Amino acid sequence: MTWNELTPEEKHVIENKGTERPFTGEYDNFYKPGIYVCRRCDNPLYSSKTKFDAGCGWPAFDDHFVESVKEIPDPDGSRTEIECAKCGGHFGHIFVGEMLTDKNTRHCVNSLSIKFVPETTS
């Protein structure tokens, strides 16, 4: 499988399960129409319609495209990691039960793990 070239910072997050500092990512306070794809393999992940301001310092989404994201419980059971269902790249974690949206789910995603593709108008 051919993947996109990554910067050292992107590799740290995507391949080594790192985390970018809160409130520093390019998509934390970004709300344009379009979709977000995996930065490593371009797998479509999230619609901008599911993005919301959780105030947590990272982009937050309350839904994802079907079969685009894989959920993996952390070994200690305290959190659930989310990664790309296509390439296995690390995105962040999913949290349920915070009552921030009607769906009661928050995908807390590192900006370095995703790319924005703007909505095209015909």
Active-site residue numbers?
A: 108
Which amino acid is it at 84?
Answer: C
